[in-house]
């Protein structure tokens, strides 16, 4: 692909992002904002760029299935990416005329390749216009059918079907292709949710109270991160599910809390708000640049009870001393399969080999947390994945090797009553929030586990 960008062109910008994600292992969420700036995308077109980039990624395998009968021979990777991008607009967006999609694709193809490539685009897309796309009923195997229909790898659908049943696996995969809710958490130290709704409305946004988290607002119009309400620290961007750990910790003012894997700091600042200015929360992370993000967020929100440090949670008991903290949150590294609707590239990059490696890290963090926790203290283990091995599997292995830790009910807002009070698994299709897992434990005495 020739390096001839079309400045200000939404579809050429989307092509650059999608090509980098597939061929250079780039992350779509990180590339999107920088590409908007480098291409000079206008404010009114930023939403379209986001939609066609994520939409094409979300439906990538389905689009390949539709394209397969019309492609003869081998295509350069960028040509296939541009075909997917064009077909996504034809199949999933009804406000963009067919001729506009073809004209844009042909012009990009001429600039990035040559005239011969442009005629290939013209031929393939016009053939699809005449004949339509294939039916999923051509696929006999039920796992393969859901895989192609929802654009998730077959191994992932098979794994979820074995863990939760085929119907729930399909529901989850379909939900992952929907646009995520835009939610913010109100900084309750500074304002009430009602007051913040008025602030956002005065800046031209629309928002309503969340049905599941009291301090959460669902923003239905506008970009909250570009408001004075955000700049002045009245809100922080956070998914509803990610607000659960601060509840499960049962934090009280005056407590000493450790957030062991804290970046980017959303849960740390939520804990600080529960402390109401009394006590301390120590935010730790492996990477200095991520710790800096936590510090910037804490400063914007005006929280004085947050301290930060760079370090490995698996080696922290010697550093901080045993039985030091009243509450510990282990929001552990995980596969991230609960946040596919926000980061669709995850479903194409994870492999079955990841789960065992991640569980080893998760158990090592929990082992260290036990040493750091005071007798009677509460330890919360959470992940943003839906995988049973990483969630219930890790929690049960932890319980089996630490007799001084008892499982306790996860104290969550009333909307989560139907999820029970044991190990709580939130699926993306339950509330429209991220997939998430919570397990709560209490230390019954002061002895230290020997794993």
- Contact between residue 444 and residue 406 where contact means Cβ atoms under 8 Å apart: yes
**Does the annotation place 261 within a ligand binding site?**
yes
- Which 3 state secondary structure label does DSSP give 256? strand
Q: What are phi and psi of 421, to 5 degrees?
A: -125, 10
Return the bridge partners of 441, or none.
Answer: 379, 407
The whole-angstrom separation of Cα 371 and Cα 418 is: 33
**Does the annotation place 216 within a ligand binding site?**
no
Token pair of 332, please?
């552990």
Tell me the DSSP string of 152-198. Answer: --HHHHHHHHHHH-HHHHHHHHHHHTSPPP-EEEE-TTT--HHHHHH
What is the helix, strand, coil percentage profile of the chain, to 5? 55, 15, 35
Q: What is the distance of C-alpha 144 from the center of its chain?
A: 25
Tell me the DSSP string of 321-344. Answer: -SS-EEEEEEE-----TT-TTT-T
**Does the annotation place 266 within a ligand binding site?**
yes
Tell me the DSSP string of 288-328. Answer: HHHHHHHHHHHHHHT-SSEEEEE--GGG-HHHH-SS-EEEE
Return the bridge partners of 235, or none.
Answer: 186
User: HSE-up of 176 (CA within 13 Å, CB side)?
Assistant: 32
Q: How many helical (H) and strand (E) elements, i.e. helices and strands, does the chain have?
A: 20, 12
Cα dist from 274 to 252, 257, 306, 337, whole Å: 7, 11, 12, 28
**Does the annotation place 428 within a ligand binding site?**
no
The catalytic residue positions are: 384
**Does the annotation place 169 within a ligand binding site?**
no
The whole-angstrom separation of Cα 310 and Cα 15 is: 37
**Does the annotation place 397 within a ligand binding site?**
no
**Does the annotation place 267 within a ligand binding site?**
yes
Annotated binding site: 261-267, 285, 312, 331
Annotated binding site for S-adenosyl-L-methionine: 261-267, 285, 312, 331
């Amino acid at each position: 692909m020739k390096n001839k960008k079309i400045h200000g062109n939404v579809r050429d910008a989307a092509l650059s992002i999608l090509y980098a994600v597939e061929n250079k292992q780039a992350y779509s969420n990180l590339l999107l904002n920088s590409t908007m700036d480098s291409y000079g995308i206008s404010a009114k077109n930023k939403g379209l760029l986001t939609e066609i980039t994520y939409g094409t990624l979300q439906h990538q395998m389905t689009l390949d299935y539709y394209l397969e009968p019309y492609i003869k021979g081998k295509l350069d990777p960028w040509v296939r990416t541009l075909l997917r991008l064009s077909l996504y607009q034809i199949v999933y967006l009804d406000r963009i005329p067919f001729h506009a999609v073809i004209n844009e694709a042909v012009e990009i193809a001429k600039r990035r390749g040559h005239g011969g490539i442009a005629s290939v685009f013209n031929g393939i897309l016009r053939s699809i216009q005449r004949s339509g796309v294939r039916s999923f009923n051509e696929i006999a195997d039920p796992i393969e059918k859901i895989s192609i229909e929802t654009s998730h790898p077959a191994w992932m659908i098979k794994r979820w079907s074995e863990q939760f049943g085929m119907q729930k696996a399909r529901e989850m995969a379909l939900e992952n292709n929907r646009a995520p809710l835009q939610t913010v958490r109100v900084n309750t130290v500074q304002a009430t949710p009602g007051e913040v709704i008025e602030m956002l409305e005065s800046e031209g946004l629309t928002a309503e109270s969340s049905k599941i988290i009291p301090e959460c607002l669902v923003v239905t119009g506008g970009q909250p991160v570009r408001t004075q309400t955000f700049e002045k620290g009245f809100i922080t961007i956070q998914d509803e599910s990610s607000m659960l750990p601060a509840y499960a910790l049962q934090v009280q003012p005056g407590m000493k809390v450790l957030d062991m894997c804290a970046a980017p700091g959303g849960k740390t600042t939520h804990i600080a708000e529960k402390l109401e200015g009394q006590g301390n929360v120590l935010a730790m992370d492996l990477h200095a640049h991520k710790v800096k993000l936590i510090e910037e967020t804490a400063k914007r929100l005006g929280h004085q009870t947050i301290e930060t440090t760079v370090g490995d949670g698996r080696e922290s008991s010697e550093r901080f001393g045993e039985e030091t903290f009243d509450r510990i949150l282990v929001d552990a590294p995980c596969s991230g399969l609960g946040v596919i609707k926000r980061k669709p590239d995850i479903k194409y990059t994870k492999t079955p080999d990841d789960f065992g490696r991640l569980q080893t890290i998760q158990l090592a963090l929990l082992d260290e947390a036990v040493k750091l926790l005071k007798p009677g203290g509460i330890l919360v283990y959470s992940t943003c994945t839906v995988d049973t091995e990483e969630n219930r599997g890790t929690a049960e292995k932890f319980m089996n090797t630490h007799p001084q830790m008892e499982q306790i009910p996860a104290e969550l807002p009333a909307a989560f009553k139907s999820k029970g009070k044991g190990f709580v698994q939130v699926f993306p299709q339950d509330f429209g929030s991220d997939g998430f897992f919570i397990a709560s434990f209490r230390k019954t005495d002061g002895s230290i586990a020997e794993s």
